Amino acid sequence: MFEATVRDGVLRLRRPGTRWLSTGWAGGRSRGDAAYNVSVPEGFDRTDLGAYRDERLARAGFKSEGDAGRDGDTPTLFTGVAMEHARGARFGPVAAYATVGLSNPAMLPMYPTDAAGEPETASDGLASAAAEGEPSPPGTVNLIVGTTRRLADGAAPNLVAVAAEAKATTLLAIAGVPGTTSDAIVVADNPEGEPAAFSGSATPVGAAARVCVRDAVRASLRSRYPDGDVPGPAVDAEHGVVADDRAEVFEL
């Protein structure tokens, strides 16, 4: 599937001629030989991410190995999670790689505040450190999901949705949160592979992606939080956000 290499806090997933679709920094579609997941230090505040990425790849010895994207930028994700906690899972035509940190959970309560601003239930008035102006650390759930199939134009972005759903389902079951404020996903496919017109959960690609994401996320969680002391909902975490506003609902 991919040649996976970790050096100096950088995970490289390499397969020549791969097509990538990234939701992360400088994201979008590209074509090239590699994608990266880069661990950043505590207190990281660099804004020149392109230069920082190049520095880290050079330090790890990757930049000299010809991995630059040929069409668009090289897909690169950033995280505060150490790469020792990166985990991969493979099933059928799909492989998924995950790094999981939950220090800045993003909650979506089902019973938000009422018109007077009071929580409708006692569990919904969750404090948000980020909303009070405190910076959120880069606690992130990063996923790179690749398939040996050649995805149709609509199947690639749909696979992002399938992977996000699997991630949220897994995290809700284990930690009570669907994700963090800075999650990102990269999807990869093989332009020379067997064509796949669809990637929904009932297709071979989508079904395999769901179980790979679930198992990679669970494994990374176990590594990152070996005692099971995950930060949990925003009320228990040092940083986080809660979408507790109410939208106007109307009939069409």
Rounded Cα distance between 177 and 168, Å, is: 7
pLDDT at 113 over 90: no
Does the structure show a pLDDT above 80 at 202?
yes
Mean pLDDT for the stretch of residues 141-167: 98
Distance in angstroms (rounded) separating the CA atoms of residues 95 and 153: 20
Question: Side chain identity at 104, as an amino acid letter?
Answer: N
pLDDT at 236: 57
Mean pLDDT of 39-68: 87
pTM of the model: 0.87
Q: Is the pLDDT of residue 52 over 90?
A: yes
Using 50, 70 and 90 to split pLDDT, how confident is the model at 246? confident
C-alpha–C-alpha distance, residues 62 and 135, integer Å:
31
Domains of the chain: 3-242 (3.60.70)
Q: Residue 20 above 60 pLDDT? A: yes
Q: Which helix (H) or strand (E) holds 55?
A: helix 49-60
Residue partners of 227: CB distance under 8 A and separation at least 6: none
- Determine the Cα–Cα distance for residues 104 and 136; give it in Å rounded to an integer: 6
Q: Which of 28-32, 58-62, 127-131, 205-209 has the lowest mean pLDDT?
A: 127-131
The tokens for 252 are 């069409």
- Mean pLDDT, residues 207-215: 98
The overall average pLDDT reported for the chain is 87
Query: How many other CB atoms sit within 10 Å of the CB of residue 148?
Result: 18
pLDDT in tens, 57-100: 999 999 756 555 544 579 999 999 999 999 999 999 999 999 99
Query: Residue 88's beta-bridge partner residues?
Result: 97
Question: Given the structure tokens 């040649």, which residue do they identify?
Answer: 3
Q: Please report, rounded to a whole number, the percentage of residues in the chain having pLDDT higher than 70.
A: 83
